[in-house]
Chain A
Amino acid sequence: MSFVDVLSGILQGLGVTLTVTALGMLYAVPFAFAAGITQHVSRGLAYGAITAVIEFWRSTSVIILLYGFYYTLPTAGLRLSAITVGSMVLGLHIGAYGSQAVRGALQAVDKGQSEAGRAIGLRDWQILLLIELPQALLAMVPTFINQFIQLVKGTALVSLVTLSDMTFRAKEISQLYYDPPKIYFALLVAYFILCYPATIAGRWIERRVGAGRRIVHDV
């Protein structure tokens, strides 16, 4: 098998990789905003509760979460497809990281902005929606792009719960044709092609949005 044959064989799994990525984003983005905003506006018990939820998704190993939910949910009577569980776990894990970008960006907005909003008689939700969020959005973008890359890379894990993504395809091909160097190098190249544009875009935007901001990565 030539390198191109191997690569095109691997790319047959691209659909699953992209599907899990897209579904994962559908979990990650709303969760990031909901959790980040809640953490920003809440105090006391509500703050403690949302922080606990975020820390659960953020601080547990994602691979343990994936296996845990995939194998445990059926015993609780919940039969979900591997693709649903995979994108949910990866999405919420990434979203928990994203929530810290949302919260951080909201907290970085000058306090005078919300005070000015109150002074002109806006309600709390109006201040949040019309004044704070629009100003904070740009600062979140670099972290969101980085987390998107983490999500794409994270989708390789769904090959462990029987989904035939690119990684799964590579393992299949290597069972048919014994040529690990070629097959696994092709797999690295496939992910690189997928993620590199985002890496470049992320770095470019990060330079423009402002240097010095620390970005939290995770796997």
Chain B
Amino acid sequence: MTFDVAYALSIVPKIASALGATIIVAFLSCVFASLLGFVLEVTRRSGVAMSYLMRFTIDFIRSTPLLVQLYFFYFVLPVYGIKLPALLIGVIAISIYYSGYLAEVFKAGIDGVDKGQFEGAKALGLTRLQGVLLVIAPQMLRNIAAPMGNYFIGIFKSTPYLAAIAVHEAFGAALDIASDTFRYTEPMLVVGAIFLGIALSLAWIVRRLEAYLAISTRH
């Protein structure tokens, strides 16, 4: 195998410059996936019919591949006259896909909060929404921070899927370079190393956070 170090170094800036799109997609997806996952889980708790409907929705989202969901939105939305930039479609697909997993994290988080807290909120005359936002959510956050962090890493690692719908993020940039030059080894290694480095750093932060929360909850 021939590995051209000078060539590998020369493509680093090109790939790194597309990292901005990767980070934008990852950040927006983390925000929207969390919001949507929270809404899914809270809705699931608001009645028997809703419980079955949302359970099924979450299962459907979790039982289908991200790539297929991505294609679905990319090819189907324009048919109904909804023309969005590919990057935004990527954010929508990743957000929906991970909302199914984050809903499950919120479920465990809410179940982990003592029942007396719900009753206390009600006794104080808070509305359901106020109770959830002001009393339950802050206590829940500490239980779910680490699992949420792990899914955020998953979201980051899923951003290269967007290359399949021609979004120019870091992996797409590496593929473009590779198909221009017919040299795959260097671009794949460079982009792989960048993603691995960021993913490992994020994992380290999540582990630290987990340890910190474990200490601060110990009585």
Contacts and interface: CB of A to CB of B under 8 A. Distances in A.
Interface of A: 55-56, 59-65, 67-68, 71-72, 75-77, 149, 153-157, 159-160, 167, 170-171, 174, 180-181, 184-185, 187-188, 191-192, 194-196, 199, 214, 216-219
Interface secondary structure of B, over-half rule = helix
A76 B196 contact: no
B158 interface: yes
**Interface size range of chain B in the complex:** 35 or more
B72 interface: yes
A180 B75 contact: yes
Contacts of B62: 149, 195, 199
B46 to A, nearest CB: 21
Interface in B39-93: 59-60, 62-69, 71-72, 75-76, 79-80
A9 to B, nearest CB: 15
14 contacts: A59-B196, A60-B196, A61-B199, A63-B161, A64-B188, A64-B192, A67-B188, A75-B2, A75-B184, A77-B1, A149-B62, A153-B65, A192-B64, A195-B62
B157 interface: yes
A70 to B, nearest CB: 8
Given A68-B192, A159-B67, A181-B80, 11 more contacts: A60-B199, A61-B157, A61-B158, A61-B160, A61-B199, A72-B1, A75-B184, A167-B65, A187-B68, A194-B63, A195-B62
Nearest to A216: B150
Contact of A61 (B63, B68, B171, B189): B171
Contacts of B171: 61, 63-64
B1 A191 contact: no
A56 B196 contact: yes
Contacts of B79: 180-181
Contact of B147 (A149, A159, A199, A214): A214
A104 to B, nearest CB: 14
Contacts of B161: 63
Contact of B63 (A71, A181, A195): A195
Interface of B: 1-2, 59-60, 62-69, 71-72, 75-76, 79-80, 97, 101, 108, 147, 150-151, 154, 157-161, 163-164, 171, 175, 178, 184-185, 188-189, 191-192, 195-196, 199-200, 203
B64 A191 contact: yes
A17 B196 CA distance: 27
Contacts of A156: 65, 67-68
Closest 9 CB pairs of A and B: A71-B184, A195-B63, A68-B188, A180-B75, A153-B65, A156-B65, A76-B1, A184-B72, A156-B67
Contacts of A188: 60, 64, 68-69, 72
A195 B189 CA distance: 33
A199 B63 contact: yes
Given A68-B188, A72-B188, A188-B69, A217 B101 contact: yes
Given A71-B178, A180-B76, A185-B72, A60 B192 contact: yes
B93 to A, nearest CB: 12
Contact of A219 (B60, B66, B200): B66
